[in-house]
Structure 1
Amino acid sequence: MPEIADKVAVVTGGSRGIGRAVAMLAARRGWRVCLSYVSDAAAAEAVVAAIADAGGQACAVRADVGAEADVEALFAAADRLGTVAGLVNNAGVVDVAARVEAMGAERLHRMMRVNVVGSLLCAREAVRRMSTRNGGRGGAIVNLSSVAARLGGAGQYVDYAAAKGAIDTFTLGLAREVAEEGIRVNAVAPGIIDTEIHASGGQPDRAWALASQIPMKRPGTADEIAAPVVWLLSDEAAYTTGAVLQVTGGR
């Protein structure tokens, strides 16, 4: 990818957790950052302010990635910030622990709409801008998968695991589709990470409760996921595409 002076990274779900850590690190590495959030405007603006205080440029856009019009508005805002050259598909949802037999259609549709459809819609907009076939200058897409895609999430999150399995397949397929068009597509699959997402599933202490199942005997941090994500965005990963990088503490 040629050097782009005003390169923009779109980071979905960038107001907290892994998304916030990615946005902050990307800004430190020279990216302008356009981050999305769903409900917590104060948290999103705090990330923008922190980036600005450190000398970077950022904007925050309220956007539900599962809604096509919101995704289009998010990328329109990114266009105003500079040249879109990176996308981090981080936005995602979990739900309360449940067996498949107890899951209703509303839960399942939400799980797939946000975690899968949202990632595809954002990637679509990114490819339209980055692809040399479309007159773009190339770029990189990093999807957030999960160790759950490999482990299955039995008894708790089979639907979430299935959604992340779809992300793994999507990563490989899109990588091969656009490899000749200057776009690299990879994924990072975190293990148990100590972020706020566990509270949204009704288990705020889940990360440390599962520490004994992790070979390193601790959950990871958001910063420990942000580092490989931002590396995959960078030219240091110039020959890496179609990869799903496991960052799991050995799990």
Structure 2
Amino acid sequence: MANKITLVTGGDRGIGRATALLLASKGHKVCIGYRTREDRAHEVVEQIRQAGGEAITVQADISQEEQVVALFLQIDKHFGALTGLVNNAGMLMQQASIEQLNAGRLATLFATNVGGSFLCAREAVKRMAWRHGGQGGAIVNVSSAASRLGSPHEYVDYAASKGAIDTMTIGLSLEVAGQGIRVNAVRPGFIYTEMHADGGEAGRVDRVKDNLPMKRGGQPEEVAQAIAWLLSDEASYVTGSFIDLAGGK
């Protein structure tokens, strides 16, 4: 597929940022989706443009359906038909046990991590599917090793939301395989990103790294490499699959 147009949600920091920069270096026209950090998103776009790539930013809260629709319309306007989606945007709340959770926290978390990913996938499929005149494409969902490990005493709710993403990946891959769309997921864990600070422990990776088989935390760029491969033509016969990037955990 010659002309690759890819949306990276949550592309302003961490894994999303690393992925956007890598994809742009490989010739993708990239849309950086962001919710609040406008300055950070523009920094990514400026870095891409200085390197000779093409990128735009679009603000959207993916938990809000009308904003997701508007996000994709902006991509249509600027670049044309989408060929790639990286469902990366997600949130992590303060570490908590089950006894500390409440309905408001659960609703907010699942609306973004699960609902937002579904809505973005829906809009992507409408543009990629052969039955709609699309040229096919690829979706990569950013899940988490937490979906396998459960994150007890820390983020059981977050882990459950990523478990839903795993199931979505399997089901959607089967639903759209006959429409030229591949759907896969990466499951990073123990990566040095700012998200740990959102959970109240910025140094979490350093605390747990010695318990990992590889004895180190991972870098966002290492996850980005896997995402870029799943989006590429080199992965043309891969769908419904998962790549774990958690140092052997």
TM range (shorter): over 0.9
CA distance in 1, matches of 2:74, 2:220: 26
Tell me if 1:230 matches 2:214: no
TM-score, normalised by the number of residues in structure 1? 0.97
Matches within 5 A, 1:111-190: 111-190=109-188
Matches within 5 A, 1:198-209: 198-209=196-207
Residue aligning to 1:240 = 238
**1:140 Cα offset (Å):** 0.1
Unaligned runs of 5+ in 1: none
Q: Is 1:66–1:118's contact at 8 Å kept on the other side of the alignment?
A: yes
RMSD: 0.8
Residue aligning to 1:191 = 189
Q: Secondary structure at the match of 1:195?
A: coil
CA distance in 1, matches of 2:229, 2:74: 24
Write the letter of the residue equivalent to 1:133. Answer: R
Tell me if 1:50 matches 2:76: no
CA distance in 2, matches of 1:8, 1:31: 6
Residue aligning to 1:31 = 28
Write the letter of the residue equivalent to 1:37. Answer: Y
**1:38 Cα offset (Å):** 1.1
Q: Is 2:81–2:134's contact at 8 Å kept on the other side of the alignment?
A: no
Deviations 1:91-128 (A, max 9, x none): 00011111112101111011100100000000000000
CA distance in 1, matches of 2:242, 2:67: 27
Write the letter of the residue equivalent to 1:227. Answer: Q
Residue aligning to 2:219 = 221
Identity of aligned residues (%): 52
**Number of corresponding residues:** 248
Tell me if 1:13 matches 2:7: no
CA distance in 2, matches of 1:4, 1:29: 11
CA distance in 1, matches of 2:47, 2:71: 20
User: Where does structure 1 differ by over 4 angstroms across 4 or more consecutive aligned residues?
Assistant: none
Write the letter of the residue equivalent to 1:82. Answer: G
Q: Is 2:190–2:217's contact at 8 Å kept on the other side of the alignment?
A: yes
CA distance in 1, matches of 2:153, 2:59: 33
CA distance in 2, matches of 1:12, 1:44: 11
Q: Secondary structure at the match of 1:84?
A: coil
CA distance in 2, matches of 1:95, 1:213: 23
Write the letter of the residue equivalent to 2:90. Answer: G
Residue aligning to 1:65 = 62
Residue aligning to 2:208 = 210
CA distance in 2, matches of 1:110, 1:210: 28
Q: Secondary structure at the match of 1:143?
A: strand
Q: Is 2:190–2:246's contact at 8 Å kept on the other side of the alignment?
A: yes
Q: Which moved more, 1:205-214 or 1:11-20?
A: 205-214
**1:82 Cα offset (Å):** 2.8
